[in-house]
């Protein structure tokens, strides 16, 4: 593997350049038009077979999609910011997914690797203490920032593509590189699963950097993701004069408030951790008008799929009750979803074996302890496992300048090289003849 390490050293400056370009032109979920077009251009030059846009993203399964005006505005912005025109049109309308395939021409299973591309809806810190600003690659797009490391993930996927193509003669079977949109809010994976992007995959690995894991540590089978359902509820009442004829009104604000209190009163489950949160409540038009509209943005989570479903079903009952109590109407819209993670033990063992050989990795663990956030790569893992394959989720620890989803977030770019080498080893050293 000496040649591998040498090639990585020569590739390292390019990894940094890619990451900083993606960081500077940060794009939120479903509007990763420039990012996806740039990725497609690079992969095409390497000789990968590309499936793009509607071929890998099911239109009806997308969640939390921006409205048409936003999609059109961001598409025009991406074009103005230099998105390669040859590839841009494939992603128009919010179909920003890519699957790149390397067919070796030799028999063997299909290995798939998933990285995500989207930024957060956040304004980046613009001061000298923040390295991206100081060194000139802070986000130029208002309200969009890579504050979770997905710019690094996309770069890792491109680095892996280069390494595998360079060493194609050592590979058997098929390699698939999945570049997913809209992970934030757990919105994008379901649409790629529904489009069949995971069908036929025998071994699947998703990745993340950071997440509180210290530098030098790699988690090979993270199982601490909670199942989640994210949804909006719109209440519609009847407006009336708040002083003169209040009895003629139907108060949407009070219905939403009653629902919010009821949601936070849902009993926890005895079999594991659960969560519910009302993150946004918007209502009303004026102090002397009985509020006719209200909006809640809500999420439920559970340590298992069953626990999350318990919380979600209770949540629906609470909302129905508040709706009936105040004589209003309500409409629920699904905005995101993910399941809990259950890595395949045999695949975790293999990932651990390969990771332990990588320079810069000091500690390799199977998993972390407690339930944390949610990740929609779990839906991809579940599909592969349902079809008889093996799957896992890896976390590459690194030092951070601030926590995830913070306007001062940044990471040590050296982790990208470590992640690329690790993933490349899992493909190049795969025991093709006997399986894992």
Residues in the chain: 436
Q: Is there a contact between 218 and 426 (Cβ–Cβ < 8 Å)?
A: no
Q: How far apart are CA 257 and CA 181, in angstroms?
A: 33
Model confidence, pTM: 0.95
Q: How far apart are CA 177 and CA 101, in angstroms?
A: 6
| 212-261 tens-digit pLDDT | 999 999 999 998 899 999 999 999 999 999 999 999 999 999 999 999 99
Q: How far apart are CA 90 and CA 42, in angstroms?
A: 15
Mean pLDDT score of the chain: 96
Can you give the pLDDT at residue 224? 86
Give the rounded percent of residues in the chain with a pLDDT score beyond 90.
94
Q: Which is nearest to 185 in space by CA: 28, 343, 303?
A: 28
| 18-34 tens-digit pLDDT | 999 999 999 999 999 99
| 344-357 tens-digit pLDDT | 999 999 999 999 99
The DSSP result for 244-289, as a single string, is T-GGG-B-HHHHHHHHHHHHTTPPPPTTS-EEEEEEEEEE-S-TTB
| 52-68 tens-digit pLDDT | 999 999 999 999 999 99
Sign of CA dihedral 92, 97, 103, 107: negative
Q: Is there a contact between 394 and 351 (Cβ–Cβ < 8 Å)?
A: yes
Mean pLDDT (whole number) for 195-204: 98
Q: Is there a contact between 308 and 302 (Cβ–Cβ < 8 Å)?
A: yes
| 291-333 tens-digit pLDDT | 999 999 999 999 999 999 999 999 999 999 999 999 999 999 9
Quick check: 432 pLDDT over 70? no
Quick check: 434 pLDDT over 50? no
């Amino acid at each position: 593997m000496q040649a591998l390490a040498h090639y990585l050293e020569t590739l390292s400056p390019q990894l940094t350049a890619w990451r900083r370009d993606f960081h500077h032109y940060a794009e939120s979920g479903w509007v990763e038009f420039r990012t996806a077009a740039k990725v497609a251009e690079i992969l095409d030059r390497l000789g990968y077979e590309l499936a793009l846009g509607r071929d890998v993203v099911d239109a009806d399964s997308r969640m939390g999609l921006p409205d048409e005006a936003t999609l059109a505005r961001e598409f025009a912005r991406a074009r103005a910011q230099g998105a390669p025109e040859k590839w841009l049109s494939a992603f128009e309308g919010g179909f920003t997914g890519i699957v790149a395939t390397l067919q070796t021409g030799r028999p063997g299973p299909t290995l798939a690797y998933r990285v995500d591309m989207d930024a957060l809806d956040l304004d980046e810190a613009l001061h000298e203490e923040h390295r991206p600003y100081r060194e000139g690659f802070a986000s130029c797009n208002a309200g969009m920032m890579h504050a979770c490391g997905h710019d690094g993930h996309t770069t890792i996927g491109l680095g892996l593509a280069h390494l595998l193509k360079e060493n194609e003669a050592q590979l058997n079977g098929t390699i698939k590189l999945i570049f997913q949109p809209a992970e934030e809010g757990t919105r994008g994976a379901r649409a790629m699963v529904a489009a069949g992007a995971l069908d036929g995959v025998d071994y699947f690995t998703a990745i993340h950097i950071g997440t509180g894991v210290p530098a030098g540590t790699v988690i090979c089978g993270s199982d601490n993701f909670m199942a989640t359902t994210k949804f909006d509820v719109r209440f519609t009442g009847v407006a009336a004069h708040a002083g003169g004829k209040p009895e003629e009104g139907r108060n949407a604000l009070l219905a939403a408030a009653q629902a919010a209190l009821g949601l936070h009163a849902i009993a926890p489950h005895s079999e594991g951790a659960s969560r519910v949160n009302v993150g946004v409540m918007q209502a009303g038009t004026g102090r002397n008008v009985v509020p006719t509209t209200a909006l809640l943005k809500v999420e439920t989570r559970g340590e298992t799929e069953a626990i999350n479903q318990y919380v979600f079903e209770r949540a629906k009952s609470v909302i129905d009750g508040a709706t009936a109590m105040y004589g209003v109407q309500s409409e629920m819209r699904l905005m995101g979803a993910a399941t809990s993670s259950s890595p395949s033990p045999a695949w975790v063992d293999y990932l651990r074996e390969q990771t332990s050989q990588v320079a810069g990795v000091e500690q390799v663990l199977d998993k972390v302890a407690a339930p944390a956030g949610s990740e929609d790569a779990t839906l991809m893992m579940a599909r592969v496992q349902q079809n008889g394959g093996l799957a896992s989720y890896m976390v590459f620890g690194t030092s951070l300048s601030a926590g995830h989803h913070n306007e001062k977030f940044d990471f040590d770019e050296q982790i990208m090289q470590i992640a690329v080498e690790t993933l490349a080893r899992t493909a190049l050293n795969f025991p093709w003849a006997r399986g894992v």
